[in-house]
Chain A
Amino acid sequence: MMEFDVIFGNAARAAFGPEAVILALAAIGLNVHFGYTGLLNFGQVGFMLLGAYGTSVSVATFGWSLWVGIPVGLALSAVLALALGIPTLRLQAVLFAIATIAAAEILRLIIGSTDAIELTGGPLSISFDASAFYDLNPYAEGPQVRYGAGTFAFTGQQLWVITVGWTLVALAGLAVFLIVRSPWGRVLKSIREDENAARSLGKNVFAYRMQALVIGGVIAGLAGVVDAIKTSGADPNGFRPQVTFFTYTALLLGGSATCTGPVLGAILFWFLREWIESFLRQLAAEAWLPQPISDSLSGSEGVISVGVVGLALIMLVLFRPQGIVGNRTEMLIDDG
């Protein structure tokens, strides 16, 4: 018996859960880079990694307060933006793209190396005491206490994380909205369209790109911080390059260079992914799936659901290239 209410509940739970918060923040940051400024940043996960590890290491290794660890994580993301941007932002777009993906991978490999065990936990995950955050939880706790209905339900702790998480998403989204609707945002878009045109009108392209890179990077760092708090730690395996690609998927799903696009995209991404995953699990439970496919479901990677989300993205590009909330005519303009 297929229980579609369960499937829907699971999907909705994923769509509003902490994972979606993290993806939404990363996509808001990427939107500043890619959507508005045209920066091909393929290393968004590197900023998230520094946000997460900056927080985790500060608390776990150095024993600092979480309220110090969070700014440290955000500051490290900003430092990465500067370190990455100063040498590469003057290069061609493609070279910048390569530099970003390389930098993110190098960071993950260094942090996850056995030599770094003392500092970061190396290949093992690092964990810290996030009680400073959970002590503030206003929701009642208990083994039986659940908020929601059916499978769409959260514990008090989870609800606290997502309350704070979606508040941060709203604040980050609002901040980005306020700056991109201004003449400053217009300069970003002009750089995306044609940097030499911007230059010929007196805009310091490098400085604007740098500002965009730092802002988007710090917002991604915030995604990393939420990730660290959610799991009370960090694991190098959580920061593989596909995180960046999922972030692009969410951004394009929702609509690049729009204010609500990255948030809607992140919600839809997790809804689709979990809906398919949950659907397939039920099929497997009914033994309606061939053995190799149901075996692959037991892996935590969600190979098939990710594949289907990929397919959805291809359909989207074909039929609605502007994303859910994007502007179609704008999308279909060819560069001339």
Chain B
Amino acid sequence: MTVDEYPDADAATVEEVEPILRVRSEPGVSKPDPILTVEGVRRTFGGLVAVDIDHLEVQRGVVTALIGPNGAGKTTLFNLLSGFERADRGRWAFAGRLVSGMSADRLARQGMVRTFQLTKSLARLPVIENMLLGAPDQMGERLRIAPFRSRWRDQERDNTERAGQLLEQFNLMHMRDELAGTLSGGQRKLLEVARALMAEPRLIMLDEPMAGVNPALAQSLMQHISLLAMSGVSVVFIEHDMNVVAGISDWVVVLAEGRVIAEGPPWNVIHNDLVIDAYLGRSGRPAESTGREESS
């Protein structure tokens, strides 16, 4: 596959805008400008090899989809890279810095923010407080400064304003002052993505952000993700719905039984025989029908 075959775009601009499109479609291929580089990462649960990746690079500023059948190790890979679970071995670098073994909170402060497949909304906090929690570098979060409101009031006001804009974009403004526990499953998914964006990530990792979100909202979430990448944020998202994957990803990585079995631009990967086999082999169902159920 060459650049010329890119659907509706002329080759010159494509080359200019998307250097990722000049990358060959083969597992573990190196990319021109990786924000995340994974090297020999392995994780087993008892005898089960959940993740075993020789080499994987994630290109900066594009949308990368991570797909694969149920139990392929996608969530586990997220957990390892974001510091929520320990790898048996392996190293990975984020934004040019070796971060393997770094704690989850430090990684998040470096700009690598992830969401969870099973949403983690803070049920007894209002939606707006959920959002504000995401804001980085808050003076008022330091115990010594916390009692003195005047020292954090301005920052809080700015954060509240930004939170309001995001809530607006995610159709959650009417729920602003409700407890997050009263939101529907889909609304919680949206809140979690919006909250992660409050953290001003450089790389955002979304674990099935569309699951349980109604098609119209999912559509706007997809647009939001595309815009995000245009503004320079790198996005990795896990998704089962091939239409979504084809719709917004610039690059697709396919995981099966913990290994990267294929990667490349969506139109190239989705119809790849290996990938179809992996889906059929694991679940006995075609790829299109595996996804979209709310997993909580």
A: residues with CB less than 8 A from B are: 175, 178-179, 181-187, 189-190, 192-194, 196-205, 211, 329-330, 333-336
Of A200, A201, A334, most B-chain CB atoms within 10 Å: A200
Partner of A178, one of B104, B146, B198: B146
Decide: A199 and B104 in contact? CB cutoff 8 A.
yes
Give Cα distance in the complex from A295 to B185, angstroms: 58
Chain A residues whose C-beta falls within 8 Å of the C-beta of B289 in the assembled complex: none
Q: Could you say which residues of chain B place their CB within 8 Å of the CB of A330?
A: 124, 179
Shortest C-beta distance, A155 to chain B (Å), equals: 37
Question: Are B116 and A200 in touch, CB under 8 angstroms?
Answer: yes
Count B-side interface residues using an 8 Å CB cutoff: 44
Task: Report how far A36 CA is from B113 CA in the complex, Å.
Answer: 25
Q: Are A175 and B82 in contact, CB atoms less than 8 angstroms apart?
A: no
Q: Which residues of B contact A329 (CB under 8 A)?
A: 179, 182
Q: Closest CB-CB distance, A192 to chain B, in whole Å?
A: 8
Known: A183-B140, A200-B113, A201-B195. A190 touches B133 (CB 8 A): yes
Complex contacts, B136 vs chain A, CB 8 Å? 202
Residues of A within 8 A of B123 (CB): 193, 333-336
Candidate in A182, A186, A204 with the most chain B CB atoms within 10 angstroms: A182
By DSSP majority rule, is chain A's interface helix, strand, loop, or mixed? helix
Q: Is the CB of A179 within 8 A of B114?
A: no
A201 & B181 in contact (Cβ 8 Å cutoff): no
Q: Bound state CA distance, A194 and B196, in angstroms? A: 15
Contact B133 A186 (CB under 8 A): yes
Question: B182, A199: Cβ atoms under 8 Å?
Answer: no
Q: Which residue of A lies closest to B113 (CB)?
A: A200
Q: How far is the CA of A185 from the CA of B149 in the complex (A)?
A: 12
Assembly CA distance A178 to B156 (angstroms): 15
Contact present for A184 and B140 (CB under 8 Å): yes
Q: Please give the distance in Å from B142's CB to the nearest CB on chain A.
A: 7
Q: How far is the CA of A330 from the CA of B181 in the complex (A)?
A: 9
Which residues on the A side are within 8 Å of B104 (C-beta)?
A: 196, 199-200
Whether the pair B146, A333 counts as a contact (CB closer than 8 A) is no
**Which of B113, B125, B134, B142 has a CB less than 8 Å from the CB of A184?**
B142
Q: Give the complex CA separation of A197 and B119 in angstroms.
A: 9
From the candidates B124, B134, B143, B146, name the one contacting A193 in the complex (CB within 8 A).
B124
List chain A residues, Cβ under 8 A from B196: 200-201
Chain A residues whose C-beta falls within 8 Å of the C-beta of B116 in the assembled complex: 196-197, 200
Please indicate the chain A residues that have their CB under 8 angstroms from the CB of B149 in the complex.
Answer: 178, 181-182
By Cβ-Cβ distance, the 9 closest A-B pairs, closest first, are: A183-B140, A333-B181, A202-B108, A184-B146, A182-B146, A197-B120, A193-B122, A178-B147, A202-B109
Nearest neighbor of B149 in chain A, beta-carbon distance: A182
Q: How far does the Cβ of A40 sit from chain B's closest Cβ, in whole Å?
A: 16
Task: Map CB proximity to A onto B121-136 as digits: 1 under 8 Å, 0 otherwise.
Answer: 1111100010011101
Name the residue of chain B whose CB is nearest to the CB of A187.
B141
A200 touches B108 (CB 8 A): yes
Known: A189-B125, A197-B120, A202-B113. 17 other contacts (CB 8 A): A175-B147, A179-B143, A179-B147, A182-B140, A182-B149, A183-B146, A199-B84, A199-B108, A200-B82, A200-B115, A201-B198, A203-B141, A204-B105, A204-B106, A205-B105, A329-B182, A333-B179
Can you identify 15 A-B contacts, CB atoms within 8 angstroms?
A178-B146, A183-B140, A183-B152, A186-B132, A193-B125, A194-B120, A200-B116, A201-B198, A203-B141, A204-B103, A330-B124, A333-B124, A333-B179, A333-B182, A336-B123
Find the A residue at minimum CB distance from B156: A183
Please name all residues of chain A whose beta carbon is closer than 8 Å to the beta carbon of B84 when the two chains form the complex: 196, 199-200
Complex alpha-carbon distance, A204 and B84, angstroms? 13
What residue of chain A has the Cβ atom nearest to residue B122's Cβ?
A: A193
Instruction: State how many angstroms separate the Cβ of B290 from the closest Cβ of chain A.
Output: 24
> A171: shortest Cβ distance to chain B, in Å?
12
- Choose from A181, A200, A336 the contact partner of B296 (Cβ within 8 Å): A336
Residues on B with beta carbons closer than 8 Å to the beta carbon of A204:
103, 105-106
Q: Give the CA-CA distance A199 to B114 in the complex, in Å.
A: 10
Whether, in the assembled complex, B199 has its beta carbon less than 8 Å from a beta carbon of chain A, the answer is yes
Known: A183-B138, A184-B146. A199 touches B105 (CB 8 A): yes
